[in-house]
Each structure stands twice: as structure tokens, then as C-alpha cells.
Chains A and B, each alone.
Chain A
Amino acid sequence: MSALLEPVFGPFYSNVIGTLVNATQWTIYLSLTAFIGGGLIGLLFTILKISPIGWLRKVATGYIWLFQAIPLLMLLFLIGLGIPSFFHISVAPWVAASVSLTLFTSAYMSEVWRGALESVAKGQWEGGRALGLTFGEILWFIVSPQALRIATPPTVGFMVQVIKGTSMAYIIDYNDLMRWGKKIANSQLDGAEPYIIYPMVALIYFCLCFPLSKWSKSLEKKMATRSR
């Protein structure tokens, strides 16, 4: 890619851009891992949170409280640095980063989805129950499809938070866009001053997040105009 950029940006900056864009893939991988992993675990805790069994609800509530109350940075330190030194094991940065972001994402997603499920009118549950449907059947066939429409815009919107959150993983030496940007900006090379490199990094984050924000907004609008 550097070869393509060279006529426009010159050898130095095409190298910088190439490095940053290359590092962006790790930001994207981490975001996707966090989003898929967090989504699945979040879904599990959403279901526990609304389940008819009391102690399962309590477990889910505790989980959500815990991981919503701990800052992401703290999770990264705990899992990336605390656990390895306490148990004398090594935890790869990508593992620590994935786990931390997954926990963080799951707690938020389950809150968003629980809210969406609970915003579906109570009468829908009663209608299903009166027809002899089970909890799972009502959830799957009646309530979830209605909640999905409500939950989609905030879910897409939260993807933006996840992508930005991955930038913190540089602190435990995860080789993402942020870490490479910092490396280059910290170098003493001419033209690699922080005021040049960081805006480039920010621009790449913007390019990742902006389309998602736009998409979330358009979904919201679609929801609002859909008359029911």
C-alpha cells in the first residue's frame, strides 16, 4: 500500500499511513471480538435478568452492576497486569484486551436489551401466557421481535463506544492503532510530531465510527416514522 501512497505523500508519510492503517486491523479485530463476545454473553445475562427464576435474576443483576461500575481501564489493568502477576502466569495482551472489552460490552448490552424487552407492553406477555405458550416461546416469538426494533439503534450506537474503548488496550501493550500511533508520535523522527500523528490516528477512528453513528441515527429515524 505504501507504494501506492508514495507519489502523493512522499516516502515518510506513506510509510506512516501504511503502518497506521495496518495497525487498524487489530483495532477492528478487537472491536469485533468484543462486540460478538459481549453480545453473546450480554444476551445470556439479558435472558437471566428477565427470567422467572429469582436467583438467576439476582446473579444477572450482580454481574451487570459489577461490570458497569468498574472502569474499562481498571478491567484492562486487572486482567492484563493484576491476574498475571498474582497467579504468576502470562496473559497475552490480546487475550486480556478481548476479555476486558467483552465483559465491559456484555454488561452494557444486557442493560440496553433488557430495557428494550421491558418496553414491550405487559399485555403481550399476558396474551401469550393466556394462549398456553411458555416463557421461552413468548420471549422468542412475541416479545423479542418487537424489542429488536427498539434495541437496534442503541446497539449500533454502542458499537461506536466499543471501537473507541479498544483504544485503551494500548496500555497493556496490545498492538492496535492507538499503540502504533503513540509509538510513532513518541519517536524523535522529523515529521512525526504528536500534533501531526494524533490527528491522523483520530481521523482513522473517525472513519470507523462515523458511518456507524450515521447508521444508528438513520435507524432511529426509521423507527420514529414507522407508524404502528
Chain B
Amino acid sequence: MFWFCRTAVKGPYRVQKGNDMSETVAAGPAVSIRSMSKWYGDFQVLKNINLTVKFGERVVICGPSGSGKSTLIRCLNRLEVHQDGDIVVNGVELTMDMKKVEAVRREVGMVFQSFNLFPHLTVLQNCVLAQRRALKRSKQEATEVAMRFLTQVRIPEQRDKFPGQLSGGQQQRVAIARALCLEPKIMLFDEPTSALDPEMVNEVLDTMVGMAKTGMTMLCVTHEMGFARQVADRVIFMDAGQIVEQNDPESFFTNPQHERTKAFLGQIL
């Protein structure tokens, strides 16, 4: 049962921060997708997607529900498996090789709509677990890093609470801190504010804006167009499994090219 144990990860895809390797990897794009397609059974959810995201770039992906934007972002850390084309993330091509996939996942943080915090663990334990297992950090180091990021999302005082005792906004901020604890190079957000009560949306968005200021590479599926205007370098509009249009936020919002983009913006703005 080889999937049970974690073998020491060696080889070119093990990118350690601060050594020569990261220099060479960082030179390429953060994400490179080439003629990628995906089907659910007979239904094609993603059609011939081509997308390149540079390190440090902040991309917002929007579009009507069912347009495949969540599926696209979930393909980037192989929570979904694409059937055609190539996806290269942080210099590593995503294939059946689970060791490589796990290596990519350690460098790519993800924040979910439904938080996916571990309810049986405290806030601190949620943040420490993956550091201990995936990065083999000592308990002390993992705790220090966790507290640093819990402070960054402004809830260090909740460290010993369980997720169920927190508000939705607090839970999502813990989820962001948990992802940041692995010190990822790329952050993926899958509708991070959609499950929140309206009064809690801003505290999460503020955290994300703060993260954007640190130069983090971010891909964010969201309907928060204010956020897109404020931090995005590029806005991508998807419909029916295709990238219909992409542009800088100013041009995208003021001068959309396609009819479908105009219709969509007309509905949500």
C-alpha cells in the first residue's frame, strides 16, 4: 500500500525556497495552460483553455454559474483531472504522478467556498497539521508560523477555538491562514466570499487585499467586482467552458468587447 506512506520527496520538482532551484523555476510562468479540455462524462465543461499567469500576477475569473470557472481553478491543483492538453504549475506538469501533484499542492494554497476547515481540530491545529506532515516542520516552528499568519488575518486570539465556534468570516480567515502557513507561491480562491453573510464579506476581502499587496500570485474566482477593480491585474470572463474575454480591469469593466460579457456585466453591476 504505497499510497499510505510519504516517501522523501527528491528530484527537480521539490522546490525549496531560497535555493538555486526556486530561481530557475520562478523564471517561468506560475501557471501555464495549453489547449486544455475537460469532460464530465459526455458533457464538456472546459473547452480548449489557454492561459498563462506570471508570478506576482493577480487574476480574477468571473462568469455565470456553470461556466466552468471553478472547475478550471480546481484543475490547477488537480482536485479535478483534465483529460486533454497540458497544465504546468510552478514549473511542474500535472500528470498521474501523485508525488509531483503533492509537491505542487504544497506550493499552491487553496481557499474554498465552504472553508473546509477540519472541525475536530482547533484553529491552531488546523494550521499546524499540514506544516508538520507535508513540510516536516518541528512542532515549535509550525506553531510559530501558524501564529504569524493567524496574526496576519487578525485572529490570533482564537487559536484554541474549534471552527464551529467561529463566525463564517472568521472561519474563512482561518482557512486563508492555514493555506498561507505552507508559504505557497500561488494562491487559488474558489468563490471565497459566496458562502458568507454580507456583513462578513469585507473582512475576508480585506485579508485578500492585504495578501495582494505582498505580491502573492493569486487566481480568484469571485463575483466581487469591487475586489476585481481594486487588486486584479487581469479579469477573465468565462462562459460555457470557454475563456470569452480577458483584459485589465479598467478596460474590462468600461469597455467589454463581447456581447456575452456585456450581458453578464449588465446583470451583476
Contacts and interface: CB of A to CB of B under 8 A. Distances in A.
B1 interface: yes
A146 B182 contact: no
A7 interface: no
Interface in A130-167: 130-137, 141-142, 145-146
Interface residues of B, number: 31
A228 B164 contact: yes
A136 to B, nearest CB: 4
B118 A127 contact: yes
A124 B133 contact: no
Contacts of A222: none
Nearest to B116: A127
Interface of A: 47, 51-53, 121, 123-124, 126-137, 141-142, 145-146, 227-228
A131 B79 contact: no
B182 A131 contact: yes
A135 B3 contact: yes
Contacts of B108: 130
Contacts of B79: 126, 129-130
Nearest to A122: B116
Interface in B205-225: none
B5 A228 contact: no
A134 B98 CA distance: 9
27 contacts: A51-B1, A51-B3, A52-B3, A121-B116, A126-B79, A126-B112, A126-B116, A127-B116, A130-B77, A130-B79, A130-B105, A130-B109, A130-B179, A131-B105, A131-B106, A131-B129, A131-B178, A131-B182, A133-B134, A135-B3, A136-B4, A136-B6, A137-B134, A141-B129, A141-B133, A145-B120, A146-B120
A53 B2 CA distance: 11
A135 B3 CA distance: 6
A85 B205 CA distance: 75
Interface string B114-134: 111111100000000110011
B86 interface: no
A136 B5 contact: yes
Interface of B: 1, 3-6, 77, 79, 98, 102-103, 105-106, 108-110, 112, 114-120, 129-130, 133-134, 164, 178-179, 182
A71 to B, nearest CB: 32
A125 to B, nearest CB: 9
Contacts of A124: 116, 118
B105 A132 contact: yes
Contacts of A133: 102, 129-130, 133-134
Q: Which of B112, B120, B129, B179 neighbours the largest number of chain A CB atoms within 10 Å of its CB?
A: B120
Contact of B3 (A127, A136, A145, A228): A136
A123 B112 contact: yes
A134 B117 contact: no
Given A131-B134, A131-B182, 11 more contacts: A123-B112, A123-B114, A126-B79, A129-B79, A131-B106, A131-B129, A131-B130, A132-B102, A132-B134, A136-B4, A137-B133
A211 B1 CA distance: 38
Contacts of A141: 129, 133
B103 A135 contact: no
Nearest to B117: A127
Contacts of B1: 47, 51, 136
B118 A142 contact: yes
B45 to A, nearest CB: 17
Contacts of B129: 131, 133, 141-142
B162 to A, nearest CB: 8
Contacts of A53: 3
A132 B4 contact: no
> What 4 pairs between A and B have smallest CB-CB spacing?
A127-B116, A131-B130, A132-B106, A132-B105
Contacts of B77: 129-130
A225 to B, nearest CB: 14
B116 A132 contact: no
A1 to B, nearest CB: 46
A134 to B, nearest CB: 5
A142 B3 CA distance: 16
B3 A134 contact: yes
Contact of A127 (B102, B106, B112, B133): B112
Contacts of A130: 77, 79, 105, 108-110, 112, 116, 179
